[in-house]
Chain A
Amino acid sequence: MDYEAIVIGGGHAGIEAALALARLGRKTLLITQNPDAIGRMSCNPSVGGLGKGNLVRELDALGGEMAKLIDASMVQFRILNRSRGPAVQAPRAQADKQLYSGLARKAVESQGGLSILMDTVVDLIASADGRRVEGVITERGSRIGARAVVLCAGTFMESRLFIGTWSERGGRLGEAAALGLGSALMVRGFPVGRLKTGTPARIKAASIDFSRLEPDYGEGMEAFSFANDRVDRPVMPCWITWTNEETHAVIRANIGGSPLFSGKIVGRGPRYCPSIEDKVFRFPERVRHQVFLEPEGAYTDEVYLNGISTSLPEAVQEAFIHTMIGLEKAQVVRPGYAVEYDYVDPKALSPSLESRLMGGLFLAGQTNGTSGYEEAAVQGLLAGINAARFLGGEEAMTMPRSEAYIGVLVDDLTTLGVKEPYRMFTSRAERRLSLRCDTADRRLTPLGRAIGLVDGERWSRFERKLQGLDEIQALLSARRISHADAAQDSFLSPHVGESAADALCDPNVGGGAARLVPSLGGRFPEDWLETVRLDLRYAGYAAREARVAARFDRAENLRIPVDFDYALVEGLSAEAREKLEAQRPRDLGQAARIPGVRRADAALLMVVLLRATREKG
């Protein structure tokens, strides 16, 4: 074998997969169509957001790269959902796109044990029985051997771009599609389908009338990575404008030119990120839609028009952009476009992201039907880790839904599959209140350490923090609320005699831990105090949430053998049997979540599984 592992694609999934493999000591080759495009941000210039910010923090705790990259390249920062409850808050940062991809490329290039090759993979090499992957075949005819292959092809497999009536093969505007691989996978029996996504136009900043727009500078920067105490970088503003009736009239008059509406695109697009033509037609009662003008970075004058992704003809794009305040004379540098691409149904993956059809083949990122840099990155990391563990003959790393958004994402993908590009939402997590952004390190650093991606320095830093949190907790428990406190703050009155820790559970008690125990202020970082306060505040709610979700936890434990014969379970509904046989859930929890599997089916299955366990025991 030439390499132990091959990673196909240098996007956000491929970077994490390749780095994880190499860092875990596996001789790895990253094959990319263009090394200049490593870590390129194809769409919006930002990382994080609701649910997504949690993913980035979790990835960081496990030893991934993305958080460090955005910390070093952000140009603006914000915590979203400040007004809506701490458990659902998440960081988001605007990125300098070129700086981001440059840092990503440097991380990959400087990683020992990791080689980069510019080529396009057109097929896999399989073992004689087709059950194991043995390497890849490239466009230039090279056959490269490896026992593990991680496929992170993004939107590039058999992809096609659309702008109005114009259509051409391509993965991103100006970049060639990866032709052959999607078809080869289909021939090999992989369940391949089509999805669609889109991106808005980029316009020249100098052509914008900023005097008529409100700037937005975000808030004080904070680090995504638990390895960084703070981030201090120059801020670039975003600007806000709106579509209006005239914009919508232009779009309505020209809708015939949209490939989405003319039926040229068959793949399904994401409903949560609709094109502006979708928004205008699906929500005719809305008289305006918000548009964020986001700088693509310090290196360029291009500005990203967040909120109006489109594949209308270029002339129409220009016309409707010109109807908006501040954009009357905007010059379009790159038009918006739609891209349609092959994805592989993730239901054909096991929870380790290894293909169930071909051992040693792992799939990650948009190829699995997801959308978003963050969703891609965490899959890349998981696939890379599990490819390394596969090579070492170790058991795969998986995460329960109750412990990480990553666990929710992978379980959703491999159990439910996708009908549209999958984006993380906090509402997908049954244990949302326990999966706060600020607890990702406590939830997952020990796992990252056990896997081997958390180094000694990071580990001792983590241990120091744990100790600090304990101390804060102890000090808050020792401090009693007095009548004097109540006299100063009436909200403390109901808590006289209680500890400060108890008083902080009350949402009416304002201010942080340091207000009740001033000595904490100087001794510990503000975010540590806040974490402890939120732990206290949410303990009761999290327990309630856990009760509501308890059924899942228990079901997780009951494993279903890989070769389980559902035909032996008399009384299963025909639909349930068919679904279970097709999807082969790993455990009862997954089985119960498959649409078509009724509660009675799950109960029956449990009886049979328990019986089998007892027969063995």
Chain B
Amino acid sequence: MPRSYIDPPLPIVALASAPGESALALIRAAGPASIDLAAGLFSRPAALRASSGHRLFHGELVDPRTGEAVDEVVVAVFRGPKSSTGEDQVEVSCHGSPAVVRRILALFEGAGFSPALPGEFSFRAFVNGKTDLVRAEAMNELVRSRSDAARADALARLEGGLSRRLATARSELLGLLAEVELRLDYGEDEAEGLPSLDRLSELRRGLADLAASYAAGRRVSDGLSVVLAGPPNAGKSRLFNLFLKEERSIVSPDPGTTRDWIEAEIELDGRRLRLIDTAGLRQASGSIEAEGVARSGRVIALSDILVYLVDASAGGPGSTGVPTAEDLDFLADHPGAICVWNKVDLSHVASPPSGFLPLSAATGAGFPGLAAALAAAASMLIDGEASGKADAVGDHNAAAWDRTGAMHERTGAMHERIGAMHERSGAMHERIASERQKLLLDRTVAAIDAALGDLASPAGLDVVALDLREAAESLGEMTGEISTPEILETIFSRFCVGK
């Protein structure tokens, strides 16, 4: 059953500031026990719990499962009824990267908060008498227009392959539920045997794969992250600046003052990319350096595309083009990385080793080749259509690429990785793009698992029906509501029943 405004008030959470890149973001949570629940995620839980409200707290949000600090934040605590919703309320000011916001929202949901419905904070404010009648009138409009907009938005998202796939899955689930209900609604006399539920495992697999496609979907909506990594002085910052200079469609160069890495959004070949420079992290001195390296490692681990720069002049005059042992270790751990042999403008550098793209971040030589390789990698990650692109790139930049074969080897490895992922998702290009959809799919899969478990135990078909109903309703939340008449409709149209 989809949650609605009519439900008893649950703790809810949502991003309150505008989505997308920004220096800071505001995440709002409200509802019963919301302060207590949020305290469980805060580095100073006792302070939050003891607060009488209208106070700010500085500290860190911590993943309670791993103990890992997620972000440094300022938390505002409000005690109902003295809050904008009239309920206990917590507002978290955090860093404004979409990744951080997503992570924090996931933490809150893990702690028991539900994603807020459109306009739900305003709705609660009204229900709790925090807005006056004039504003309430306006809010009537708001509730309506927002949910209509939300619906239109959802429909737009669901148009095409994903909506068809979900609709198919849902109708199959309803069909199975109808098979079960048929047995429950009619006795053994009239509806013999047990329903055939072989399809259920298959259905589960398809939905689980779809849930797994969340990562790919997120890449489309938020942009792929491209991380520039490499030893100090390899030229990462220069390359970062070169990107900003060369790609005219710069969306939002980030000031970089609120985080430990520098990030900019660029558009390459019609795709949004989040370019992240880990420069400077290793240059930090003292005890902070270790922390910086650790963060750099996290950023690299979360990257979609890794560009690894090597200083071609590091070996000194006359050196052969061989990466250092350190570089090789790194590349062994990150086999998909695009390797760049930088500073080829200097006269004494060796020719690039196999698999490295020649580049001069200073002069821009070789940049089209790198841009083409990036575009090809992005295209593979999102569409899985790698080889054609890479070939075209090869032709286009033949001069700059004297190691296309090796490059192909690398992209080949990446292609395999992506290919395997796409195979898992049933060679489908549909994917889900929001945390909410992922949550609903996960819930659907869990309910199907319960059904399979109950079918295998002596639990009884009445309980299996409950499992399937939960599954269908979770799925229904993505595609529209489920109703009993609909199940009966399916029964009547499919089966011959009745004495």
B144, A600: Cβ atoms closer than 8 Å? yes
Q: Which positions 81-119 of chain A face chain B at CB distance < 8 Å?
A: 81-88, 92
Q: A81-B187, A600-B151 are in contact. Are A592 and B498 (CB under 8 A)?
A: no
Q: Interface 1/0s, chain B 180-211, versus A by CB < 8 A?
A: 01011111111000000000000000000000
> Quick one: closest B residue to A603, CB to CB?
B5
CA distance A430 to B473 in the complex (A): 13
* Contact of B187 with A292 in the complex, beta carbons under 8 Å: no
The yes or no answer to A550 lying at the interface (CB within 8 A) is: yes
Q: Is A370 an interface residue (CB 8 A)?
A: no
Query: Contact between B499 and A84 (Cβ–Cβ < 8 Å)?
Result: no
Do A600 and B148 touch across chains, with their CB atoms under 8 A apart? yes
Bound Cα distance A609, B458 (Å)? 46
Contact (Cβ within 8 A) B461 A85: yes
Are B2 and A292 in contact, CB atoms less than 8 angstroms apart? Answer: no
Query: Is A606 a contact of B461 with CB atoms below 8 Å?
Result: no
Whether the Cβ atoms of A416 and B6 lie closer than 8 Å is no
Task: Give A404 Cβ to nearest chain B Cβ, in Å.
Answer: 16
CB distance from A318 to the nearest CB of B (A): 20
Residues 1-31 of B at the A interface (beta carbon under 8 Å): 1-8
**A49-94 with Cβ < 8 A to chain B:** 49-51, 80-88, 92
Partner of A507, one of B8, B127, B148, B458: B458
Closest residue on chain B to residue A419 by CB atoms: B485
Is B395 located at the chain interface by the 8 A CB criterion?
Answer: no
- Cβ of A554: which chain B residues have Cβ within 8 Å of it? 6-8
> Counting CB contacts under 8 A, is B413 at the interface?
no
- The interface stretch among A26-34, A270-278, A352-360 is A270-278
B401 proximity list for chain A (CB < 8 A): none
Q: Is the CB of A292 within 8 A of B139?
A: no
B499→A88 contact, CB < 8 A? no
Interface readout for B50-71 with A: 1 if CB under 8 Å, 0 if not? Answer: 0000000000000000000000
B147 touches A84 (CB 8 A): no
Bound-complex Cα distance A541 to B460 (A): 12
Q: List the B side residues contacting A44 at CB < 8 Å.
A: 499
Contact A292 B499 (CB under 8 A): yes
Interface residues of A in 271-311 (CB under 8 A from B): 271-274, 279, 282-283, 286, 289-290, 292, 306-307
Contact A544 B470, beta carbon cutoff 8 Å: yes
CB contact under 8 A between A548 and B473, given known A80-B187, A554-B6: yes
Query: Using Cβ atoms and an 8 Å threshold, which residues of chain B touch A51?
Result: 185
With A427-B484, A606-B5 as given contacts, are A84 and B466 in contact (CB-CB < 8 Å)? no
Interface residue? A169 (CB, 8 A): no
Asked if B110 lies at the interface with its beta carbon under 8 angstroms from chain A, I say: no
**23 A-B pairs in the complex with CB atoms less than 8 angstroms apart:** A51-B185, A81-B187, A81-B188, A84-B461, A273-B498, A274-B496, A279-B496, A286-B496, A290-B499, A426-B185, A427-B484, A428-B484, A433-B466, A507-B457, A507-B459, A508-B458, A544-B466, A548-B1, A570-B141, A593-B483, A604-B144, A610-B127, A611-B126
Given A49-B187, A85-B462, A433-B462, 8 more pairs with CB closer than 8 A: A84-B184, A290-B499, A426-B185, A433-B463, A507-B457, A508-B458, A541-B463, A541-B466
The residues of A with any CB-CB pair to B shorter than 8 Å are: 44, 49-51, 80-88, 92, 270-274, 279, 282-283, 286, 289-290, 292, 306-307, 416, 425-428, 430, 432-433, 507-508, 510, 541, 544-545, 548-551, 554-555, 558, 569-571, 588, 592-593, 595, 599-600, 602-604, 606-608, 610-611, 614
Which chain B residues have a beta carbon within 8 Å of chain A's beta carbons?
A: 1-8, 123, 126-127, 129, 133, 136, 139-141, 143-145, 147-148, 151, 181, 183-190, 457-463, 465-466, 469-470, 473, 481, 483-485, 487-488, 492, 496-499
